[in-house]
Chain A
Amino acid sequence: EVQLVESGGGVAQPGGSLRLSCVVSGLTFRNYAMSWVRQAPGKGLEWVAAIGASGGSSHYADSVKGRFSFSRDNSKNTLYLQMNSLRAEDTGVYYCAKGLLPYTGSYADYWGQGTLVTVSS
């Protein structure tokens, strides 16, 4: 059974930082691109970032470019999303998902349960 388990969410002040993690099991992790997708309260889904299978390439939404950094450790089957210079509009549930690498026609067939990030003073 494929499982994606996020952690690291919580409350941060504007301008602060958080690091999200996502542990993946049940598939050959090193073979797949992975992404983060978020949902702000009362809003729709927004793709945030993607990383290639080897970790050599990463892509970001304009809304987080320069502030967020996506990495992976294929020896630990783990993804990391380092979120700096947080803003109120970064508040939401963050999902890790398999797939959604830009320009590849891919889709997200497995999702984690999500972790809540709240940016507030």
Chain B
Amino acid sequence: DIQMTQSPSSLSASVGDRVTITCRASQSIKTSLNWYQHQPGKPPKLLIYAASGLQSGVPSRFSGSGSGTHFTLTISSLQPEDFATYYCQQSSTVPTFGQGTRVEIQ
């Protein structure tokens, strides 16, 4: 299976900060990379598909980039409702998720 590694595992940030989360794949997955937001007690929410496609209804402060083995999720200006755990997920082969990045309030 393809291994997905996210960094950092957690971060503390303030409202208004620019936040970047990195995801690396153990082999090339082209652009078959998706990002989800997961808040406690709620189901995961799709944010970005195919590395850079913004899911309908998701605010434009979220953006994704990358291809091959290196991908990033950027939140341009962190809002209070963005504090959550973020997961990358590859869909090139058998789906696998990264270990998650917890975004906490500083």
Pairwise interchain contact B87-A61, C-beta atoms closer than 8 A: no
B80 on interface, CB distance cutoff 8 Å: no
Partner of A45, one of B32, B38, B50: B38
Q: By DSSP majority rule, is chain B's interface helix, strand, loop, or mixed?
A: loop
Name B95's closest neighbour in chain A (CB-CB).
Answer: A47
B49 on interface, CB distance cutoff 8 Å: yes
Partner of B50, one of A47, A95, A105, A112: A105
- Size class of the contact patch on chain B: 20 to 34
Q: By DSSP majority rule, is chain A's interface helix, strand, loop, or mixed?
A: loop
User: Nearest 6 pairs between A and B by C-beta?
Assistant: A111-B43, A47-B95, A107-B34, A107-B49, A105-B32, A45-B97
Interface residues of B (CB under 8 A from A): 1, 32, 34, 36, 38, 42-46, 49-50, 55, 85, 87, 89, 91-100
